[in-house]
C-alpha cells in the first residue's frame, strides 16, 4: 500500500508538471478549483489572498493579521465577514468537490479525509504545498519566472 507521503509527493510532482507554466497566483487558483471551491463565491477571492499572504509570511496569524489585511484590501466591513466567507467557500468545496483531490491534499497516514479542515488548516496546508512546488521549480532551475 502506498504511503501518504508517497501519494502526496506524487501529487506534488503532478502539480509541479502541471503548474510549471503558472505563477503563484495562478497556482493557487488551480489548486482551489481542483478542490472544488466555487469561483463565484466571495470566499474564493478571500482564500486566494489568504493563501498568498500565508505563503509570503508563514508567521502571520490568520485571525489577527490575514483576515484584517483581506478586509482592508477588499474594503469589507469586518474580519468576521472575511472569516465567514472563507468558511462557507471551504464548506461548499467540501460538499461538492473531488474526494480524491481532498485526500491528496489533506489525508494523513493514508486515511481518507473524514473531517472538513478548519480555515487555518486549509490555508496553511495549501500555502505549504505551494511552497514545496516553488522549491521544486527552483531546484529544477525554473527560478527565472517571477511569482
* Higher pLDDT among residues 103 and 49, named by residue: 49
The Cα 39–Cα 69 span in angstroms is 21
Look at residue 144 and tell me if it is in a domain: no
* Higher pLDDT among residues 3 and 32, named by residue: 32
Look at residue 49 and tell me if it is in a domain: yes
Look at residue 34 and tell me if it is in a domain: yes
CATH number of the domain encompassing residue 102: 1.10.10.10
Q: What b-and-e string marks burial along 56-76, b requiring 16 or more CB atoms within 10 Å of the CB? A: eeeeeebeeebbebbbeeeeb
Look at residue 146 and tell me if it is in a domain: no
- Going by C-beta distance under 8 Å and a sequence separation of 6 or more, which residues neighbour residue 95? none
The Cα 22–Cα 51 span in angstroms is 16
pLDDT attached to residue 63: 85
Look at residue 86 and tell me if it is in a domain: yes
Give percent of the chain above pLDDT 90. Answer: 46
Q: Is 17 a residue whose pLDDT tops 80?
A: no
And the C-alpha cell for 36?
Answer: 472544488
The closest of 39, 19, 14 to 105, measured between CA atoms, is 14
Give me the number of domains the chain comprises. Answer: 1
Query: What domain range is 77 assigned to?
Result: 4-139
pLDDT band for position 146 (cuts 50, 70, 90) = very low
Q: Is 39 a residue whose pLDDT tops 70?
A: yes
Look at residue 145 and tell me if it is in a domain: no
Amino acid at each position: 500500500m502506498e504511503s501518504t507521503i508517497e501519494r502526496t509527493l506524487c501529487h506534488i510532482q503532478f502539480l509541479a508538471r502541471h503548474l510549471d507554466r503558472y505563477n503563484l497566483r495562478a497556482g493557487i487558483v488551480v489548486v482551489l478549483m481542483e478542490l472544488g471551491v466555487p469561483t463565484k463565491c466571495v470566499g474564493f477571492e478571500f482564500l486566494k489572498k489568504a493563501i498568498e499572504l500565508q505563503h509570503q509570511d508563514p508567521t502571520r496569524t490568520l485571525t489577527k493579521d490575514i483576515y484584517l489585511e483581506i478586509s482592508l484590501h477588499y474594503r469589507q466591513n469586518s474580519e468576521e465577514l472575511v472569516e465567514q466567507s472563507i468558511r462557507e467557500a471551504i464548506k461548499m468545496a467540501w460538499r461538492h468537490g473531488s474526494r480524491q483531490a481532498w485526500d491528496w491534499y489533506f489525508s494523513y497516514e493514508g486515511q481518507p479525509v473524514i473531517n472538513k479542515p478548519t480555515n487555518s488548516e486549509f490555508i496553511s496546508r495549501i500555502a505549504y504545498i505551494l511552497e514545496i512546488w516553488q522549491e521544486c521549480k527552483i531546484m529544477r532551475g525554473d527560478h527565472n519566472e517571477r511569482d
